[in-house]
Amino acid sequence: MQTDQTSQTFQEDPWRIFRIMSEFVEGFELMSTLGPAVSVFGSSRTLPGSRYYKMARKLGAMLAEKGFAVITGGGPGIMEAANRGADGAGGKSVGLNIALPHEQLANPYANIQVDFHYFFARKVMFVKYACAFVCFPGGFGTMDEFFESMTLIQTRKVEPFPVVLIGKSFWAKLAGWMDHVMLRRHKNISPEDLRMFHMTDSLPEALGIIEEARTLEERRRAQAHVPGHRRPSGEGTVVGMVPRPRRRRPSRRRG
């Protein structure tokens, strides 16, 4: 029985490559013409009319008016609000929808839609085509995107980009825990790691940070082919070096 299951998996898995390839190809084709863009994350459970829904909708409109495309996960809540604001302002409003075991309704305000089966393919699109991330209060998915951005920036796998956290009352305790526990108690991060994100309740401040990022991104692209400049990879990260094995110290024998 186990042998039959292993054989079936062996036969099916190589064919999955074609579905994965198709998701990347479709995503690259649709996203490559966006121009400057911002990825916005936040809870799908945020209700219309709530404070953060209104803020996300307003920010979506502000970004569109400044020429930014707005990228979200395509669902309800904060995602809907940001797409709604961008679409209402006549901007490019992108929804990167994901197939889930329970039905997820795509919000009607994404005028560019891409559907994914694989989270990892979808995540590449969020990073590759955005010059900044904005995280509103959210759940595990929002935390996943936030900490992934921290990992990519900390490891220098991407050129640093702004990560703006909207809602100080929501994010302050998490930032405090990172400071007191991760940094001071366990020494798991460095002091400069806590400067990789910005917390604010001000949408104009957030927009100002993002506009500075666009200018920096334009300079980087102009330098992309200059010898000695860090070379970007196809998925939008930085080409790295293969790890070298570290020499083992000779063991001291007793006797």
Q: What is the pLDDT of residue 28?
A: 95
For the record, the structure tokens of 4 come out as 């039959």
Do residues 94 and 71 touch, judged by C-beta distance below 8 A?
Answer: yes
Report how far Cα 230 is from the mean position of its chain's Cα atoms.
21
- Mean pLDDT calculated for residue range 9-36: 88
Q: What is the pTM of this model?
A: 0.87
Contact 39, 130 (CB under 8 A): yes
Cα angle value 70/165/231 (rounded, 5°): 65
Q: Indicate whether 246 belongs to any domain.
A: no
Which tokens belong to 31? 């996203």
Which of 57-61, 97-101, 228-232 has the largest mean confidence?
57-61
In a domain, 244, yes or no: no
Residue 187, in any domain of the structure: yes
- At 180, give phi and psi (nearest 5°): -80, -35
79 is a domain residue: yes
Q: Phi, psi (5° rounding) for residue 66?
A: -95, 5
pLDDT tens digits along 135-153: 999 999 999 999 999 999 9
pLDDT digits (tens, 9 = 90+) for 64-80: 999 999 999 999 999 99
pLDDT reported for residue 224: 60
CA atoms of 60 and 63, how far apart (whole Å): 5
Given this model, what pLDDT does residue 156 score?
A: 93
Both tokens of 209, joined, read: 């940070």
In whole numbers, what is the pLDDT of the chain averaged over residues? 89
The first and second tokens of residue 124, run together, are 């590449």
The confidence score (pLDDT) of residue 213 equals: 86
Domain carrying residue 182: 19-212
Q: Is pLDDT of 183 > 90? A: yes
- Is a pLDDT exceeding 70 seen at residue 231? no
Question: Look-up: residue for tokens 């809602």?
Answer: 167
Within 8 A by CB and 6+ apart from 153, the residues are 160, 161, 163, 196
* Segment 108-133, tens digit of pLDDT: 999 999 999 999 999 999 999 999 99
Residue 43 falls inside a structural domain:
yes
Residue 251 reports pLDDT greater than 70:
no
- Rounded average pLDDT over 22-27: 95
Nearest to residue 201, comparing CAs of 17, 59, 40, 22?
59
Residue 178 burial class via C-beta count within 10 angstroms: exposed 0-12, middle 13-18, buried 19 and up: middle
Backbone torsions φ then ψ of 59, nearest 5 degrees: -65, -40
Percentage of the chain with pLDDT > 90?
73
Q: How many domains does the chain have?
A: 1
Nearest-angstrom CA–CA distance, 27 and 113: 9
Predicted local confidence at residue 253, as pLDDT: 62
Which residue shows structure tokens 């930014």? Answer: 68
CATH number of the CATH domain containing 93:
3.40.50.450
Query: Quick one: pLDDT at residue 133?
Result: 98
Q: What is the pLDDT of residue 154?
A: 97
